[in-house]
């Protein structure tokens, strides 16, 4: 059984005619996008707004019409994956490097739906290293400021070169396992000059779609 497909496809049921839909990035929301492409072929009328170049290419391939922020008033629903989800439905995101555009789009959406297989569900955030996006200028200095928060930034590499986001920035993956207050950390990180955004999504998710022990799809709502 493909768990990602089960939760990813379920999210497509929330999308109705006329909606503007934020399209997330990753291997779980991939199945949402494929399903939405099928539904568009069957007559569903939506407009998508992608969170990454990869997602833009996928959405075009499956025939989802795309819009830009210039053309829309609001986003009705954003759907995205996560690297970790805690019991408050707070998230770590950005394993795939798309955290900045993902946060802009989730923040602009009336409803933010997260698709997460059971292995993503945790008691406490921090088992997954927190991605922090920084501008290349002065990145060495920015790294020192991040370290002063008591976390250890690891410079993300790809095939032996510095990893670059779709925005041309670098990423530091940070061990935050000792951090008790994710909201405070989110704010402190974003106050460092040079930090563009970090992958803590606090108080943003409305619904998480996951699976129970018997592999039934479950909807977890914000309490």
Pick the closest to residue 171 from 81, 112, 93 (CA basis): 93
Decide whether 6 or 99 has the Cβ nearer to ligand 5RP.
99
The active-site residue out of 9, 56, 102, 143 is 102
CB of 82 to ligand 5RP, least distance (A): 6
The region of 61-69, 70-78, 81-89, 204-212 touching ligand 5RP under the rule CB under 6 A is 81-89
How many residues belong to the site for ligand 5RP (CB under 6 A)?
A: 17
Can residue 50 be called a binding residue for ligand 5RP (CB under 6 A)? Answer: no
6, 7, 98, 200: which one binds ligand 5RP (CB under 6 A) = 98
Please indicate whether residue 102 is annotated as part of the active site: yes
Which of 99, 151, 171, 195 binds ligand 5RP (CB under 6 A)? It is 99
Is residue 83 close enough to count as binding ligand 5RP by CB under 6 A? yes
User: Does 84 interact with ligand 5RP (rule: CB under 6 A)?
Assistant: no
Q: Does 197 bind ligand 5RP (CB under 6 A)?
A: no
Question: Active-site positions?
Answer: 102
């Amino acid at each position: 059984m493909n768990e990602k497909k089960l939760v990813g496809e379920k999210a497509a049921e929330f999308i109705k005619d006329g909606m503007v839909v934020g399209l997330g990035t990753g291997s779980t929301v991939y199945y949402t996008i494929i399903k939405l492409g099928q539904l568009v072929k069957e007559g569903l009328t939506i407009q998508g707004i992608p969170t990454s170049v990869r997602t833009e290419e996928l959405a075009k391939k499956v025939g989802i019409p795309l819009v830009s922020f210039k053309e829309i008033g609001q986003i009705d629903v954003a759907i995205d994956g996560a690297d970790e989800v805690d019991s408050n439905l707070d998230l770590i995101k950005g394993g795939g490097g798309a955290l900045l555009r993902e946060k802009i789009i989730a923040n602009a959406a009336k409803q933010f739906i997260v698709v997460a297989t059971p292995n993503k569900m945790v008691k406490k955030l921090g088992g997954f290293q927190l991605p922090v996006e920084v501008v290349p200028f002065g990145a060495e200095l920015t790294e020192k400021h991040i370290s002063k928060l008591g976390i250890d930034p690891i410079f993300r590499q790809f095939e032996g070169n510095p990893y670059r986001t779709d925005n041309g920035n670098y990423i530091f993956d940070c061990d935050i396992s000792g951090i008790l207050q994710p909201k405070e950390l989110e704010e402190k990180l974003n106050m460092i000059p040079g930090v563009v955004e970090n992958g803590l999504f606090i108080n943003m998710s409305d619904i998480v779609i996951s699976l129970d022990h018997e592999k039934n799809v479950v909807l977890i709502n914000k309490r």
